[in-house]
Amino acid sequence: MTRRDPLCDLLTYLAETDPQSETTWRDWRVTRVTGGWNNLLYRATNDAHDLAIKFTRRDARDRAGREYAALLVLQQSRLNIAPAPVLRARERYRLPVVVQTWIAGEVKNAPPVDDAEWMLLLEHYAALARVTRANTSLNLLDAVLTMKSARDAQARVRQQLARLPNDAHNESIAHLIQQMETARFPEWDAPPATLCRVDPNILNFIRRDHAWLSVDWENAGWGDPAFEIADLMAHPSYISVSPARWEWAIERYCRLMNDPQMETRIRTYHRIMLVWWVVRCARYLDDIPRGTDRRLAVMSNDIVNIFPISLT
């Protein structure tokens, strides 16, 4: 985009008015896109451009900065598996904003259905794992959620537990934590640091015939690629996937990666991530009725339908 002023004017308009329905402003057609909890997302089109405009929460994660940097790293690595970065502004508007190209394609709220679709998803992650610090001069941070060892993974669970009010603890959680703390997990050499997108929610993937792309990179950074697969396996949006399919996916991904310690790391992280999710869901169940979970978008009170994990 050779001129930024018209786009900046549009961003000012959106930041000040927050249109809830489809609208036209000057030569832009603007549509509010729902679904995200931590952002206000719009699709803006005119005769020359088709853009995704994402206002993010203002917090320590620097969500807009992370997403823009991750997209730049992918662009420098010549990987066409994500939107192209257009603009980032942390302070100019009421909320931080990142602008990127709009990615057209099919989105489904369901896991892959066959070997071919699963391979497209795994190949997407394998492509990310080829991106290292050697590919870029950008100072990208570590991923918001990643793990390097079993001990590191256990510490992540403890961080979640520390944020859970005392009256939200129960015997089931205490039993899981005790099992985690007393389990003997394997050790391994320091894993490679590659680009990790984080947040494997299936709605973040754009399905095309020959490749899958993904959006929502606000938590991205450097991390262990094995954790990405463990995170995928533990995420509630894949709860319907059979154990046999996960065995197949681990085997295929390890074949793509040629890392002798990959399978061990995936399986270890996965066991601990299941505990992490139980504690995280307990936090949701506690935060929403109290009104302590502040999001930019309205969240459903029926959190059990969003995260169908039993705590009993």
Q: Where residue 54 sits, what CATH number does that domain have?
A: 3.30.200.20
> What average pLDDT does the structure give for the chain?
90
Residue 283 has pLDDT above 90, yes or no: no
72 with 123, same domain: the answer is no
CATH of the domain at 233: 3.90.1200.10
Helix (H, G, I), strand (E, B) or coil at 262: helix
Residue 298 has pLDDT above 60, yes or no: no
Task: Quickly count: other Cβ atoms within 10 Å of residue 72's Cβ.
Answer: 17
Q: What is the CA radius of gyration of the chain?
A: 20
**Full residue range of the structural domain in which residue 35 is found:** 5-101
Of the candidate ranges 35-44, 176-185, 195-204, 291-300, the one whose mean pLDDT is the lowest: 291-300
Residue 116 has pLDDT above 80, yes or no: yes
88 with 154, same domain: the answer is no
- Asked if residue 63 belongs to a domain, the reply is yes
Q: Do residues 112 and 200 lie in contact, with contact meaning Cβ atoms separated by under 8 Å?
A: no
128 with 87, same domain: the answer is no
Residue 38 has pLDDT above 50, yes or no: yes
Give burial (CB, 10 Å; 0-12/13-18/19+) of 244: exposed
- Asked if residue 106 belongs to a domain, the reply is no
59 with 148, same domain: the answer is no
15 with 64, same domain: the answer is yes
Six-digit token pair at 289? 């009725």
34 with 154, same domain: the answer is no
Q: Do residues 70 and 221 lie in contact, with contact meaning Cβ atoms separated by under 8 Å?
A: yes
Tokens 């989105």 sit on residue: 107
pLDDT in tens, 66-86: 999 999 999 999 999 999 999
pLDDT in tens, 221-248: 999 999 999 999 999 999 999 999 999 9
- Asked if residue 109 belongs to a domain, the reply is no
Q: Do residues 220 and 86 lie in contact, with contact meaning Cβ atoms separated by under 8 Å?
A: no
80 with 185, same domain: the answer is no
Residue 133 has pLDDT above 60, yes or no: yes
What pLDDT is recorded for position 167?
A: 80
Decide which of 5 and 143 is more confident.
143
168 with 222, same domain: the answer is yes
Q: Where a domain ends, among 46, 73, 101? A: 101
- Give me the phi and psi of 85, to 5 degrees please: -70, 140
- Asked if residue 27 belongs to a domain, the reply is yes
Of the candidate ranges 21-30, 279-288, 294-303, the one whose mean pLDDT is the lowest: 294-303
The percentage of residues in the chain with a pLDDT greater than 70, rounded to a whole number, is: 90
DSSP symbol at 298? P
145 with 55, same domain: the answer is no
- Asked if residue 312 belongs to a domain, the reply is no
In which band, very low, low, confident or very high, does the pLDDT at 147 lie, cut at 50, 70 and 90?
very high
- Asked if residue 108 belongs to a domain, the reply is no
- Asked if residue 110 belongs to a domain, the reply is no
What pLDDT is recorded for position 238?
A: 98
What pLDDT is recorded for position 302?
A: 38
The count of domains in the chain is 2
- Give me the phi and psi of 24, to 5 degrees please: -120, 130
70 with 131, same domain: the answer is no
253 with 281, same domain: the answer is yes
46 with 139, same domain: the answer is no
- Asked if residue 211 belongs to a domain, the reply is yes
The vertex-59 CA angle with 273 and 204, nearest 5°, equals: 50
Q: Where a domain ends, among 101, 130, 161? A: 101
Q: Where a domain ends, among 72, 101, 130? A: 101
